[in-house]
Amino acid sequence: MLINSLPKTIGELKKRGYKVLSVKDEIRKNLIHKLKNKEELFKGIIGYEKTVIPAVSNAILAKHDVIFLGLRGQAKTKIARMLISLLDEHVPIIKGSEINDNPFNPISKYAVDLVNEHGDYTEVEWITREMRYGEKLATPDVTIADLIGDIDPIKAATQRLHYSHEGAIHFGIIPRTNRGIFVINELPDLQPRIQVGLLNIMQEKDIQIRGFNIRIPLDIFIVFTANPEDYTNRGNIITPLKDRIDSQILTHYPRSLEEGIKITESESWIKRQEKETIIPYYLREIVEAIGVEARCSEFVEQKSGVSARMSISVMENLISNAERRSILNNDIIVFPRITDLQAVLPGITGKIELVFEGEQEGSVKVSKALIGKSVRQIFRKYFPDPLQRKRTGGEGSQGDPYGEILKWFEMGNSIELSDDLTFKDYFATLRKVKGLENTVKKFIKTENEFELATMMEFVLDGLHQNSKIAKDEADECISYKDMVGSMLRDKSSQAGKRTSYDYEEDWNY
């Protein structure tokens, strides 16, 4: 619809038979239209198709105000912001109105006086759906004046108005979102006395400012977000306000690894500059499994939750380390490796809240163990379980699919890998391990040498995570070696040095 072709006065609106719907009726109408046409309601929201989205639809059809209740990183605010897609593209208001006055039913003194003076010749202007959205983060310093309004002494002085004159009112963010959607994020952080100020808005749909003997009716769809942790740790939602919120919608973390991978892929910055970025699917699974493991770890505070933003940060750090290597080595593609998992720790340590036992272990140690457990879990999806005893062939090299590899390490051999090795040196180093390349080719069909090489390292790390070989981690490189020989050497000559194997044994993870 062209904005220039829209009516310019109240009279023109009447001639065209324009009808103004309440905001909840308008949203309901547009939702019904989308449902009938099988349109996607919330583009980019993954994993909520059978849970949250139907609940949101039901609340809108019932014309309810809602609260999204869930742990951090569950797309509560994102969904709230996407509700504007259910508003009309343009709606008319009295021109110059601060609170989006309905041309057929003005409520502010400014608009009422204007209509009384000009009648059907009163000018209207059309505002977009984006202009009808308001949002406020609830913080302890938020005041009633911020949300609802107060007397503006500057306005009163410049316009020579008495303080009791309605024209001296300064409207807060809620009335300024009249005929739109208003969102309050982290509701429990709002002081109880301020929450009391919302009671009339929720029930009677009007506001009262200071001592004015008037009540201004509002047409508004109110959405809250809250974290259940806040109910006990930082604040409360007062009972009368909870009672006035019609629908409480519970959000959740991805119900499957595949859903989590899709979310991380859609939200992460993956494509870098002009270089092609290729991420093996098993690495995507490992990244997502880190979050899954954290959400059930005894060392991570589960009431706080583990945000989906952690997986996004981990993925971006993983790609960045591979990108840095490609820049240093002048590679034509960005291809992450298992060694790059060392670089994702900054994306984990700041995003998990540890319980007391976890704090004793340390965030880095906990994060490394989460990565290790994720590698172990995903490794068993692609390769035989190294701890599974074979029915025939025993534990020897003939019956064990990894026997040749383990025997090579048992002979005292070892390899060292760093995250800045050129692909040629990286591949050549891995090929030194007897039987490694053949083992990968036996179970996995790879498309190119890049995939083959990273899968070869994946096998080594998978064997380490299943306590078949040892792994030492230094700042710049990692080394794989025989488990028994490494333990003997560590006890005799490196009493002060700790390996990743030591961490897992001490932690009993």
pLDDT of amino acid 162: 62
For residue range 403-437, what is the model confidence (pLDDT) as tens digits? Answer: 999 999 999 999 999 999 999 999 999 999 999 99
CA-to-CA separations, 70 to 24, 73, 245, 251, 450, in angstroms, rounded: 24, 9, 16, 5, 41
Task: Quote the pLDDT of residue 209.
Answer: 74
Alpha-carbon gap, residue 203 to 197, rounded angstroms: 11
- Contact residues for 295 (Cβ-Cβ < 8 A; gap 6+): 253, 302, 305, 306
Rounded Cα distance between 219 and 288, Å, is 43
State residue 435's pLDDT score: 95
The pLDDT assigned to 399 comes to: 73
Question: CA-to-CA distance for 357 and 365, rounded, in angstroms?
Answer: 12
Instruction: Kindly report, residue by residue over 59-116, the tens digit of the pLDDT.
Output: 999 999 999 999 989 999 999 999 999 999 999 999 999 999 999 999 888 899 999 9
How many C-alpha atoms does 507 have within 13 Å on its Cβ side? Answer: 27
Task: Give the pLDDT confidence score for residue 489 in this predicted structure.
Answer: 58
Least confidently predicted of 60-64, 155-159, 352-356, 479-483:
155-159
At residue 490, the pLDDT reads 56
d(CA 108, CA 59): 30
Q: Is residue 305's pLDDT more than 80? A: yes
Q: What is the 3-state secondary structure (H, E, C) of 433-466?
A: CCCHHHHHHHHCCCCCHHHHHHHHHHHHHHHHHC
Identity at 467, one-letter amino acid code: S
DSSP per position, 345-382: THHHHTT--B-HHHHHH-HHHHHHHHHHHHHHHHHHHH
Can you give the residue ranges of every domain in the chain? Answer: 3-250, 257-507
Distance CA 325, CA 3 (A): 52
Hey, is 385 helix, strand or coil? coil
Give the Cα separation of 365 and 373 in Å (integer): 12
CATH number of 3-250: 3.40.50.300
Half-sphere exposure of residue 485: CA atoms within 13 angstroms, side-chain side:
14
State CA 304 to chain mean position distance.
14
Residue 57, pLDDT score: 97
Confidence of residue 507 (pLDDT cuts 50, 70, 90): very low
This prediction has a pTM of: 0.84
Q: What percent of the chain has pLDDT over 70?
A: 87
* Number of other CB atoms surrounding residue 162 within 10 Å: 8
**Whether the Cβ atoms of residue 375 and residue 441 lie closer than 8 Å to each other:** no
The residue ranking higher by pLDDT, 204 or 346, is 346
**Does position 509 have pLDDT exceeding 50, yes or no?**
no
Q: In sequence order, which residues have a C-beta less than 8 Å from that of residue 282 and are 6 or more positions away?
A: 378, 381, 382, 455, 458
The reported pLDDT for the residue numbered 139 is 87
| Alpha helices in 92-198, H assignment, sequence order | 109-118, 144-147, 153-158, 173-176, 192-196
Pick the range with the lowest mean pLDDT from 85-99, 315-329, 352-366, 480-494: 480-494
Least confident piece of the model among 128-142, 172-186, 221-235, 479-493? 479-493
- Between 390 and 319, the more confident residue is 319
**More confident call, 485 vs 185:** 185
265 three-class SS: helix
309-350, pLDDT tens digit by residue?
A: 999 999 999 999 999 999 999 998 999 999 999 999 999 998
CB 453 within 8 A of CB 427: yes
SS3 415: strand
Average pLDDT of every residue of the chain = 87
Contact predicate 87/30, CB 8 Å:
yes
Q: How far is the CA of 129 from the CAs of 9, 29, 142, in angstroms? A: 20, 15, 26
Summarize pLDDT for 256-303 with one digit per residue, the tens. Answer: 999 999 999 999 999 887 789 999 999 999 999 999 999 999 999 888
